[in-house]
Every structure is written in structure tokens, then in C-alpha cells.
A and B are shown apart, each in its own frame.
Chain A
Amino acid sequence: MAVKISTLEERISVPAEGDNPLNTQEYFINMGPQHPATHGVLRLMLKLDGETVREVIPVLGYIHRGIEKIGEHQTYRQFVHLTDRCDYLSAMMNNWAVSLMVEKAMQTQLNDRIEYIRTIMAELERIQSHMLWWGVLGMDLGAFTPFLYGFRDREMITDIFEETIGCRLTMNYIQPGGLMDDIHPNFVKRVKDVIAYAKPKIDEYEELLSGNVIIQERLRNVGTITAEQATSLGVTGPVLRASGVALDLRRVAPYGAYGQVDFEVAVGSVGDCWDRYWVRVEEIRQSFRIIEQLIDNIPAGKTMLSKPAKKIILPEGSHYAQLETARGILGIYAVSDGKSENPVRIHMRSPNYHNVWSVDAMTRNARIGDLVANISSLDIVVPDIDR
């Protein structure tokens, strides 16, 4: 058995032109890694036939840092600090995933205060992530105002994070066994202020962008993937739900305080860019709804179960925990030998890595202009792809 290993050069080589002078030739052009519409350092090779895209080949690895290899030499408590360097817009949810894995393996029961604060923080994070995405989507499609609006409103949420945690982007707030610190005394009041301020803003967003005829034309029936394709492609999060599959771990396998709150899972029907847009805007509303139900009832209690244990040694065997970040399902798979505090293997099932490949299925035989809308509707964060 000989397995053929190919290279990028071979992959993008174009066969020689035939004799017929009327043949059109397909050719490759390069997009990125420093393209403003590719959200970071995502590089795409486009196989074009005139303006029509025949194939999209993502070329990854520009910020591959080997986080899984580093994790093999770190304790779980240290590894938490690496995870929010992956998907920095879901930083706290990434911390939570590692914490969840450790707590599940150690069979730790947390008190309600920890679960409530974690849930509120994760939902705030989801809102600010979706607000940023909303602004960037407008920017990608040529509207500059949403970018300013999205960042302006997101700023208020990051200010809350800064007050409680001290950081705005990479928080490390959620730790195995609890939280880094208690919430700031102003936290509850400021969250309520933000809800009062930002909830009407969502309607403003919709007025500004959703009904706009250009946005409708650019998004409707563009980049459609069916539920079958989406399942086979392994996409999760809003991308999967837009195709009509109601897989939301907050609902089907509740963790944190999600079992105690009432919210609806936004599900699309067609699976085009518009559905992905709508699902995310609706998720902002539902996240506000979740926070509203929790913010007044944060119970009293400790925010760390005990003094942080010096050593966390997981039982021998493989452990896995997953949760729903702003972009989809993040799973942490760890294999422990039961003796060392470092894992034998730690692996992140990254939502962005699984989502990014669907850009090919979305864009085949569409125009170049739609490609930008498709990438934007996927809401990709490149550090999480490359890890």
C-alpha cells in the first residue's frame, strides 16, 4: 500500500491548455493571508473560471502555535490560559470548556453561584462576539456604519469584563473549580444598564441593516448549504442551526445554569447567508433573555470551591467535555495517565476548524462577490482554526 502525499503546489497546478482556442482556462488566484475580508490570516486559493468560483481551498497554519503540544507539558490550570488565545471572542467559554472537562473528570459539584456567574459571563461574551460579527459583516458587504455601531455597543460589555476581571479580551476568569475572583460590586447594576441600553439597539441594528435591500440581495439565497451537507461537513453553532438542525448544547445537554432558564433556540430553514445572519441576531436577543432571568437571582456562596488544589491529577483514561461557544461546539479531549498532572494528550475540537471547510461547499459555482459574504457569515476566528 503506497499512500500518495500531495503538496499545495501540485494541488493548484493547472493542466495545460488544449488545442481548441475557444477553451476557457480555469486558473488559481490567491486571496489572503493579509486580506481585510478574511478576518485575520486566513488564506484562500480560489479556482476561478472568469468570475465564477469553481473551488475554494483554504490554506491554513499561518498562526499555528502548537497549543496541543504545549498543553502536553502543562497542567490543566495552566492550559486554561492558552485556550482564550484560540477563539479570543469566546475566551471565557473556552476557559469554561477546560474547566468543565476537569470538573467532570474529578466529579466536582459546583454551587449555584459559580454556575450562575459563569452562565451570565458566557452570555455576555456571546453578545459581544455577535455584535462584533454584526459590525464586521456590514463592513465586509460595504457598509461602514454597522462596524462603528457594533464596536460602540460591544465596548460597554468589555468594560464590564474589565471592571470585574481586569482584562478585556483574554480573561482566564473561569477556572477549574470555580472562578478567578468574585464579581465586582457594580457588576449587577452595570449589566442591567447594558441590557436597558443595548436591547433597543438590536432593533436599531435590524432597522439599519436587516431590511436594507442591498443586504437582502447580498445575503438571500447566497451560500446555501442543506441540513444534510451541514451535518456531513461537521459544522456546528449558528451555521448548523441556520440549515435547520436544532443542535444547541445549551438546550440538548444543559450545563451551567442553562437548565434553569427559558430561552428559544433560533433555527433557520434555508441555510443561506441570510439565515445565518438572522440566527445570530436572534441569539443576541435570547442571550439578553437568559441574562435577565439570572442577573437578579445570583445566589450567595463561594466563588472557588476550596483553596485551589496545588495539583490536579485526573483519573486514568480519556475525558471529554463540550459546550456551545459563540461559533459552535468546542470539545476538549484529554487523556490522562492517572499519575502525572500533565495530560498525555490534550486536543481541542475547534468549532472554527470544522466550520471553515464549508466555505467550499457554499461558494462552488457562485461569484467572487458572494465569497466575501460567505466567509463573513461563517464568523471565523483564525487563531482557533490554527491553534
Chain B
Amino acid sequence: MTEKSPQDNKHPEKPAQQPSTPESSAPKPTPPPAPAKPEEQVEKPPQPPELTLKVCAAISECKPYSAASDCPTVEVIPENLVKVLTALRDNQDFAFSMLMDHTAVDRIEDGKFELVYRLYSLTTLSMLLVSTKIPRDKPIIPTVSHLWDIAEWQEREVYDLFGVLYDNHPDLRRVFLEDDWVGFPLRKDYKDDFMLTLDIDSLRE
């Protein structure tokens, strides 16, 4: 536990006096009210959000996310992941002291798993998504459970459902399914004997 403590020197001693203006919270960059026309939604602002640029300027390993996202998002390569997340946690300008969420997306068409880490800062009340892609056939990524306690169990959930292997994880085992379960259900190509497949097109005819 001792190595986990230095992150919290910025912790609010008087939490009730946190900045409470909704403007300061980046998680919800409410878009300007636009009439719900599909043509207009397709247009994306070319400039990434301010926080993304700030993070990319401070940490050279990050680059802005290439795909569309409604939250400030940076992309890193798997080798730099731990370094970047450590920097984001310990950098006093960002102070992402909470790992709000960690999950994976099966990008089967690219042959990759996309791992997303959703960081939350209690001092700036901003949210940042860190995305990294690992190959589906060799899904190994270093653990970040030494940075945030909760990562240990978030990673176990991703292992259980996607089969992503976390290197140096203290206790990597299935969390929902039984230990002898074969396969990883949230993969797009998962099949088992109990699955029902419904051919909708044949029903329509």
C-alpha cells in the first residue's frame, strides 16, 4: 500500500469547497443545442478538446484520439501505457486520482482489442479517456493495479469477459464465470453450446 499513497497529496482536505461550477467539469462538454438533423451531427469539430491538447503537450507519448469520442481522449501505444498513466496520476496539473472505469472493446475488423481507461480528477473535476490497442491474437498488457487499487478488479472483469491478459497482475482469475469456463463471452466471435442464434431475415419472410 505504501507505494500507492503519494498520489493523494492533492486530495481535498476541505472537499465541500471544491469548485462546483458545471463549467469546470470537462466530463460533460455540452454541445450547443443543434436541431436534430442527421446531416449536422455528422460534422465533427476538427479541433480536439482543450484537455486533450494539454495532455498531449505535457506528455509526449500521447496523441489525440483518431476516432470520434464525446470525451477528451488520448491514444497511447501499449508499451507506454503504464508510463503515461503514472504521469497522468502524479502530474499536479491533471491529478487523475480516480480510475473511474476500465473496459475493452472488441475491434474484430482490425484484429485488435481496444482498452479504455477512464480517469477522473477530483481537483479539476475533469475526465480523460486513455485508449490503447493490443492485437487480438496476443492480448497482453501490463497491469496498472499498482497505480489504483480498483484496477485489480476492473482488469479481472476484462480478463474474464475478453481474455485480455494482464502482466504482473497480483491475482488474475475469472470474476463472474467459473474457473473452468472455456472462452471469453464478450468477444465478438464467441460461441458456445448454449447460445441461441436467431436468423431474423428468415423470420421476416
- Give A contacts to B, CB under 8 Å: 1, 3-9, 11, 60-61, 64, 66, 68-69, 104-109, 227-229, 231-234, 244-247, 251-255, 259, 265, 267, 315-322, 329, 331, 333, 335, 344-345, 347, 349, 353-354, 357, 361, 386-387
Contacts and interface: CB of A to CB of B under 8 A. Distances in A.
Interface size class of B (residues with CB under 8 A): 35 or more
A229 B149 contact: yes
Contact of A252 (B20, B148, B149, B176): B20
A105 B70 contact: yes
Contacts of A353: 153, 157
Contacts of B116: 318, 333
Interface stretch (B2-10, B46-54, B55-63): B2-10
B7 A232 contact: yes
Interface in B67-116: 67-71, 73, 97-101, 103, 105-106, 116
Most buried by B among A8, A244, A320, A387: A320
Nearest to A331: B101
B173 to A, nearest CB: 5
Contact of A246 (B7, B16, B169, B175): B16
A231 B122 contact: yes
B31 to A, nearest CB: 5
Given A107-B36, A333-B101, A252 B175 contact: no
B182 interface: no
A234 B11 contact: no
A345 B179 CA distance: 24
Contact of A317 (B27, B67, B177, B186): B67
B64 interface: no
Given A245-B12, A246-B16, 18 more contacts: A7-B179, A60-B175, A104-B30, A109-B33, A227-B8, A234-B98, A247-B122, A252-B25, A252-B125, A253-B27, A253-B125, A254-B22, A316-B68, A317-B70, A320-B118, A333-B101, A347-B101, A353-B157
